[in-house]
Chain A
Amino acid sequence: MPELGATRPRLLLLDGHSLAYRAFFALPVENFSTTTGQATNAVYGFTSMLINTLRDEQPTHIAVAFDVSRQTFRTEMFPDYKATRSASPEEFKGQIPLILEVLEALGIPSLQLEGYEADDIIATLATRAENADYDVFILTGDRDAFQLVDDRVTVLYPRKGVSDLARMDPAAIEERFGLTPKQYADYAALRGDPSDNLPSVPGVGEKTAAKWVREYGSLEQLTARADELPGKVGQSLRDHLDQVVLNRQLTELVREAPLPAAFDDPADLVRTPIDRQRVHEVFDALQFRVLRDRLFDSLGQTVAPASGSFDLEVAALSPGEVATWLSSHAVGRCGVEVEGEWGRGTGVLRSIAVAAPDGAVAWMTPVTWTSEDETAVAAWLADPAAPLAMHDAKGPLLAMAARGWSIAGLAADTALMAYLVLPGQRSFDLGDLTARFLGRQLEDSTSDSGQLSFDTEEASAGQVGLRARAVLDLAEVLESEVAVRGGTRLLNDVELPLVSVLARMEELGIAVDLGLLTELDDSFGDSARGAETEAYSMVGRTFNLGSPKQLQEILFVERGLPKTKKIKTGYTTDAEALQSLYERTEDPLLGVLLRWRDVTKLRQTVAGLIPLTDANSRIHTTYAQTVAATGRLSSVDPNLQNIPIRTEEGRRIRGAFVVGDGFECLLTADYSQIEMRIMAHLSDDPGLIAAFNEGEDLHSTVASRVFEVPADDVDAEMRRRIKAMSYGLVYGLSTYGLSQQLGVSTGDAQTLMDHYFERFGGVRDYLSEVVADARVTGYTETIMGRRRYLPDLTSDVRQRRDMAERMALNAPIQGSAADVIKVAMINVVQRLEREQRSSRLLLQVHDELVLEVATGERDSVTTLVREEMAGAAELKVPLEVSVGFGHTWDEAAH
């Protein structure tokens, strides 16, 4: 970053509305919305352009100008001005206030001025800054700004989308239009501007307009000598001279707009540090994860609270020094940071730093350890009496396990703690948390971030040591943050012990039949090609089945099928739309397309598994413990939680997951209807509790009560409706949603719902209480006290409020289910260890656990798993567990 004062000050001016509009039309709104339904494409695109420009131009001063409304001095002069611009689309509205929130968090001043356009504010500020010897950069999507360009003023104009900016300096204007920037306004007036509804002169296009301005030097000269112009176009100009003169007045930007005092002096626009806490709040709400990282990456050193830096001496331990250092310093809880790589159930440990409570920090690497050194580290880590604080410990645990170490004293994991404190956030970067909670910067601010410093011993030791120290200090702060939120028990009894359970599961992986996977890959490939051939013959030519463009042409033009929902690139051809179109039209091509999509997706799943298989034919997934706000685990590389279970093909894939050598079988155990049971528990509804305690089949029992018929008379349709209703309640389904799902009128759905609640009033009361309570407290809670914060419950945007309400209904139930199965996993693993069983837990797929059962242990392990799963929580209804066995995961299903 250029040093302040070393060069001329650099003022960056942005045209807020024009950029937001650009962004809105450049980014598909369907890809940029929060989970609460707030469209964010304009905010995203604007912020993205802003971050890039801050990074590239390194302005010292900055301001953003916005339009107030359509009523400006221009509309007074020419009422049609901009009248053709369509009203802002629904999704655009409401994004400007969000942009203002972003700017406020970034400490960037913005202004609007009654009666003036953003352009005029920019022209005024640019002129003043230029006079005060600034370099000025104007980021705008409005070409009128080109007239401001000179040696000191550059316009950055989005050429395409939001990332490709043209740098318009005098040379670029000259090259593009053959005109000087001064001539540009003349040219624009002659040419007219359809987007601003400025009429053009008939017969005079861009070329003629530019030619005339070039030839005559200016519009003034041209109009003075209009008589000399020959031919039709000459006459046309003469006929429209008044309009052209008016146009010229309209396109001329005002350079003396009456700015408020705070903007009087460009020096007042000096950049201020960003408010990191506020950026988190705003970006969390907008769910901008990548942008946040980019922002912090590019602005690393301008971030505000860099007050305290770690002044730290890190001892790089020489061979033979480890044991002595550990025994003299590592007394009490230590921060441990590991440098290395991990994933797929294993890892490499390159170096490790330990921050001791006495302030000493040591860095060491296996590369120079003596065997005594290694033994000392391993023994220390394996000592349950040596408490450790780590950040995101699961990966490092894998690297440690690969060295043959185990770790016993994990007492704090700052990533997990932060996850409990900020469940809505998706990434828990140590540097970020350090800045946020400790007000310190993890990385050194004096070195030039543009230069990659050479990674020497000092750099490695310093960096890793610094992180170890940050982890130790953070653990303390986060401990109280967790306690304030009532999460201590959840942290210590569930999330922390789960870390090593998950690490071990990842390390073990699950065996696959590689031959079978390869066969499946071929077979799905054959099916896909079969479907392709069939589709070609139906259409009469070959085409790309995966191309939405070609599909639109074939479906809506050639075959004349009814149009689906309109999207930016025509009409949607997504799976849901094609399915519903198929149901309506029964066009056989649609059937083939849907089949092709299914098998292609399955093939991708299978093809993704093959390269992830290790030398021992096992696949090791990675569980993410801090991603889902509900508390559920997710699985990546590969995702083993989304292998279809209900379809025949999905079951074939599960058939390729097999019991490993030396083991008897796979065992799967899952909770039945766990969410409904939790609902019964939380709502305390006597009817629902009784239904669980008495009934053989929950949905039939509930149906018999709702429909007031004997249980034996409940037919399939009744049961289906009640099942949909029950699960719908768990997910906050509306009357409309229920009607859609059941294929009945909303009236019928409402009646069903009313009947349901007549019988199960406790459920209704509970559901309304959850939302009401959350509105007051700001969060929901699970049975283990896991919170989910839902600030949108009080949003004035209906969409966001509705979505937050649905989340409030679902979060306690789904989150409690997640709590229960996590407890079950820990208890199962601990008891297997206690009883010294060789059987082991391999996978967790939502409500299901998969174990590899050692020969001879089948019965005892079945009992063990049943007891520990059923006993994982004390509910008012029993937790029922069903168990199956088999040679493959599919066979073990039940």
Chain B
Amino acid sequence: MGIVCAATVLAACSSSTSPSQVRDVNVDVAFVGCDVVKCADTINGAPYEIVMPTKWNGTLLIYSHGYRGAQPEPPSFEPVETTPEPAPGWGSGIKGLGQALLDQGYAIAGSAYASNGWAVADGVRAGEDLHSFFVSNIGTPSRVYVWGDSLGGLITEQLAEKNPEWVAGAAPLCGVLAGVLPNYDLALDVSFAVKTLIDPDLKLSGYTSYEDAVRTLTAASKKVIAAASDTKGGGTAKVIYIASLVDAPHQTQRFDGATLTSKVSGYTEAIITALGFGTLGRYDVERRYNGNISSNEGVDYAARISNSDAELVDAVSPHASKGFTARLQAGVRVVADPSARAAALAEGGDPQGQVHAPTITLHTAADPLVIVQNESFFRARYRVQQAKGNVQSDLVQLFTVAPATYPGTSGAPFGAGHCNFTPESRLAVISLLDHWVREGIVPTGGLLTHALPPAQTGYEPLYEPGPWPEPAAVAVRS
């Protein structure tokens, strides 16, 4: 029980008319059990798993997992995952969250997509197949919510935009909501800057094999790490400069950014993460879409560095920022293969912001992999669609912020790091979505802080992400 004082209140209670249907209170919907139906199998090459609660409340949750490497990745090179994931962690045996949802009466379902890598199209297909299978074999859901993490957040949004007739609610978490091209273009900016300022040998595109990409990443990472600690030689300034180019967060799960060292470490981690995206990830998408999908033609790097960015760089290495910018501006730009770019746009995920059903997004403010500006990008598209009359629901975007300091050993409890949410936050999002869809309670204001207690979840109602680093990328596909 939280005690609050009633001395700081405003905002009137509304009593305007906003009709909603009388809510569905049935908490015991009939279904065919997993003893009869195959609840775990493969559809069109995608392994799936459905888990039914003892008493079904009629809601089906379809979960889309995040990016899985197509091949073992450095540094550990563990075997790739191919298990279906009906709830976050479930496939790797961490079932607490899924069990909590089952206890609340939800049916949970998820797939491993037919391929690993940037498998957006496979993921969307798997979600649709799973839904059809469920409806045909298990029962008729009163409502279906789609949700997912990271790349699964992108798949979730694609599913929701494509299937308004059966998606009743959506929760993309730490989602790649700006879609494939803006994110890969940003990764190119990082690689391009690393190549220009730190590692001239860095190969930006056209890896001949997975090993080629791994080698490139490993070599570049070493040089970036070396540069970060080379304050005298200007390396630290370069790292700060490169991170600023893409508005990378100064916090990560390990580094709280409270000191300059910690901040530079955070930046370094963000840059290496982006390099991984831009090498291993790029190898995958170039094979998928038959060519280089990224370009930095026409990018004005000078405009990407703000005065305060430049001040920080120059504080570390006096007068360095101007020179860095000049070198980037003069560098030979990368040209995309138009047909590959078109293919990526068509299949790799390009949410339009057409929100048909109640949608709640959740993102950590400091996300070194899928930057939080993916959310503002998506919001901007949503606004355009809203102005055109193409949206049927509100969009609620929630952000968590890490504490100002935390030890590197335990890391940030929330708010910093990719998809670093507490299980309670995830449960709260599903619960808020459910109350929204079933009862019309739009999650805003005090309800949010009550459902996501800031001290335990890092939820910060006043946080708002900055704009996407490259403004030209936001335009909606006509």
Q: Is the CB of B439 within 8 A of A444?
A: no
What are 14 inter-chain pairs, A to B, with CB distance below 8 A? A339-B14, A346-B20, A348-B439, A351-B447, A365-B451, A367-B431, A444-B9, A446-B8, A447-B10, A453-B8, A457-B446, A458-B5, A462-B9, A463-B6
In Å, the complex CA distance between A350 and B10 comes to: 16
Q: How far is the CB of B288 from chain A (nearest CB, A)?
A: 41
Tell me which of B21-29, B93-101, B333-341 binds A: B21-29
Determine the chain B residues whose CB is within 8 A of the CB of A449 once the complex forms: 10
Determine the chain A residues whose CB is within 8 A of the CB of B451 once the complex forms: 365, 367-368
In Å, the complex CA distance between A338 and B13 comes to: 8
Q: B444: CB under 8 A from chain A? A: yes
Q: B472: CB under 8 A from chain A? A: no
Q: Which residue of chain A has its CB nearest to the CB of B22? A: A402
Number of A-B contacts (CB under 8 A): 188
In Å, the complex CA distance between A43 and B475 comes to: 54
- A444-B447 contact in complex given A344-B17, A402-B22, C-beta closer than 8 Å: no
Give the 7 A-B CB pairs with smallest separation, nearest first.
Answer: A460-B446, A343-B17, A455-B445, A462-B6, A457-B449, A458-B4, A462-B9
In Å, the complex CA distance between A339 and B13 comes to: 6
- A367-B445 contact in complex given A313-B5, A462-B6, C-beta closer than 8 Å: no
Q: B36: CB under 8 A from chain A? A: no
In Å, the complex CA distance between A657 and B431 comes to: 40
Write the B426-451 contact mask toward A (1 if CB under 8 angstroms, else 0): 00100110010001110111111111
Q: Which residue of chain B has its CB nearest to the CB of A348? A: B440
Determine the chain B residues whose CB is within 8 A of the CB of A338 once the complex forms: 13
Write the A335-373 contact mask toward B (1 if CB under 8 angstroms, else 0): 001111111111111110000000001010111100100
In Å, the complex CA distance between A538 and B449 comes to: 68
Q: Which residue of chain B has its CB nearest to the CB of A310? A: B6
Q: How far is the CB of B461 from chain A (nearest CB, A)?
A: 6
In Å, the complex CA distance between A306 and B349 comes to: 58
Q: Which residue of chain A has its CB nearest to the CB of B445? A: A455
In Å, the complex CA distance between A404 and B5 comes to: 32
In Å, the complex CA distance between A500 and B129 comes to: 48
Determine the chain B residues whose CB is within 8 A of the CB of A311 once the complex forms: 6-7
Write the A426-450 contact mask toward B (1 if CB under 8 angstroms, else 0): 0000000000000000011011010
Determine the chain B residues whose CB is within 8 A of the CB of A655 once the complex forms: none
Residues of chain B in range 1-53 having any CB-CB distance to chain A below 8 Å: 1-23, 25, 27
- A459-B7 contact in complex given A321-B1, A344-B19, C-beta closer than 8 Å: no
Determine the chain A residues whose CB is within 8 A of the CB of B2 once the complex forms: 315-316, 318, 457
Q: How far is the CB of A501 from chain B (nearest CB, A)?
A: 19
In Å, the complex CA distance between A459 and B7 comes to: 9
Q: Is the CB of B1 within 8 A of A463?
A: no
Tell me which of A51-59, A464-472, A761-769, A856-864 binds B: A464-472
Q: Is the CB of B435 within 8 A of A366?
A: yes
In Å, the complex CA distance between A611 and B443 comes to: 26
Q: A4: CB under 8 A from chain B? A: no
- A365-B10 contact in complex given A314-B4, A342-B15, A614-B19, C-beta closer than 8 Å: no
8 more contacts with CB within 8 A, not counting A444-B8, A457-B450, are A309-B7, A314-B4, A367-B431, A403-B25, A455-B445, A460-B446, A465-B6, A466-B9
Q: A317: CB under 8 A from chain B? A: yes
Q: Which residue of chain B has its CB nearest to the CB of A318? A: B1
Q: Which residue of chain B has its CB nearest to the CB of A370? A: B104
Q: Is the CB of B5 within 8 A of A462?
A: yes
In Å, the complex CA distance between A463 and B5 comes to: 10
Which range contains the number of B residues in contact with the other chain? 35 or more
Q: B387: CB under 8 A from chain A? A: no
Write the A613-630 contact mask toward B (1 if CB under 8 angstroms, else 0): 011000010100000000
Q: Is the CB of A637 within 8 A of B435?
A: no
Determine the chain B residues whose CB is within 8 A of the CB of A345 once the complex forms: 19
Q: How far is the CB of A687 from chain B (nearest CB, A)?
A: 50
Q: How far is the CB of A589 from chain B (nearest CB, A)?
A: 41
Q: A502: CB under 8 A from chain B? A: no
Q: Is the CB of B441 within 8 A of A349?
A: yes
Q: Is the CB of A466 within 8 A of B17?
A: no
Residues of chain B in range 457-477 having any CB-CB distance to chain A below 8 Å: 461-462
Q: Is the CB of B16 within 8 A of A403?
A: no
Q: Which residue of chain A has its CB nearest to the CB of B448? A: A457
Q: A312: CB under 8 A from chain B? A: yes
Q: Which residue of chain B has its CB nearest to the CB of A317? A: B1
Determine the chain B residues whose CB is within 8 A of the CB of A392 once the complex forms: 15
Q: Is the CB of A404 within 8 A of B23?
A: yes
Q: Is the CB of A314 within 8 A of B10?
A: no
In Å, the complex CA distance between A337 and B17 comes to: 17
Q: Is the CB of A456 within 8 A of B446?
A: yes
In Å, the complex CA distance between A340 and B439 comes to: 11
Most B CB contacts (10 A, CB to CB) among A401, A403, A462 go to A462
Q: Is the CB of A314 within 8 A of B6?
A: yes
Q: Is the CB of B25 within 8 A of A462?
A: no
Q: Is the CB of A447 within 8 A of B13?
A: no
Q: Is the CB of A341 within 8 A of B9?
A: no
Cβ 8 A contact of B3, one of A313, A350, A622: A313
Q: Is the CB of B1 within 8 A of A402?
A: no
Q: Is the CB of A342 within 8 A of B17?
A: yes
Determine the chain B residues whose CB is within 8 A of the CB of A402 once the complex forms: 20, 22-23, 439-440
Q: Is the CB of B22 within 8 A of A455?
A: no
Determine the chain B residues whose CB is within 8 A of the CB of A346 once the complex forms: 19-22
Write the B100-120 contact mask toward A (1 if CB under 8 angstroms, else 0): 000000000000000000000
In Å, the complex CA distance between A7 and B20 comes to: 51
In Å, the complex CA distance between A482 and B234 comes to: 82
In Å, the complex CA distance between A395 and B18 comes to: 11
Q: A461: CB under 8 A from chain B? A: yes
Most A CB contacts (10 A, CB to CB) among B450, B461, B462 go to B450
Q: How far is the CB of A401 from chain B (nearest CB, A)?
A: 8
- A395-B15 contact in complex given A367-B443, A444-B9, A453-B10, C-beta closer than 8 Å: yes
Q: How far is the CB of B29 from chain A (nearest CB, A)?
A: 15
Determine the chain B residues whose CB is within 8 A of the CB of A290 once the complex forms: none
Determine the chain B residues whose CB is within 8 A of the CB of A447 once the complex forms: 8-10
Cβ 8 A contact of A460, one of B5, B18, B432, B447: B447
- A341-B461 contact in complex given A457-B4, A459-B8, C-beta closer than 8 Å: no
Residues of chain B in range 41-100 having any CB-CB distance to chain A below 8 Å: none
Cβ 8 A contact of A366, one of B10, B22, B439: B439
Q: Is the CB of B7 within 8 A of A368?
A: no
Q: How far is the CB of A583 from chain B (nearest CB, A)?
A: 42
- A316-B450 contact in complex given A367-B435, A458-B4, C-beta closer than 8 Å: yes
Cβ 8 A contact of A348, one of B4, B9, B12, B20: B20
Residues of chain A in range 270-328 having any CB-CB distance to chain B below 8 Å: 309-318, 321, 325
- A463-B10 contact in complex given A343-B16, A403-B439, A456-B449, C-beta closer than 8 Å: yes
Most B CB contacts (10 A, CB to CB) among A314, A348, A363, A365 go to A348
Q: A716: CB under 8 A from chain B? A: no
- A452-B11 contact in complex given A457-B4, A460-B445, C-beta closer than 8 Å: yes
Determine the chain A residues whose CB is within 8 A of the CB of B17 once the complex forms: 341-344, 622, 637
Q: Is the CB of B16 within 8 A of A316?
A: no
In Å, the complex CA distance between A372 and B164 comes to: 33
Q: Is the CB of B1 within 8 A of A316?
A: yes
Q: How far is the CB of A886 from chain B (nearest CB, A)?
A: 28
Cβ 8 A contact of B13, one of A315, A348, A454, A463: A463
In Å, the complex CA distance between A392 and B16 comes to: 13
Determine the chain A residues whose CB is within 8 A of the CB of B6 once the complex forms: 310-314, 361, 444, 461-463, 465-466
Q: How far is the CB of A763 from chain B (nearest CB, A)?
A: 44
- A343-B19 contact in complex given A366-B435, A459-B8, A464-B13, C-beta closer than 8 Å: yes
Q: Is the CB of B450 within 8 A of A365?
A: yes
- A443-B450 contact in complex given A315-B1, A455-B445, C-beta closer than 8 Å: no
In Å, the complex CA distance between A367 and B4 comes to: 18
In Å, the complex CA distance between A458 and B440 comes to: 22
Determine the chain A residues whose CB is within 8 A of the CB of B18 once the complex forms: 341-343, 347-348
- A316-B4 contact in complex given A348-B439, A459-B10, C-beta closer than 8 Å: yes
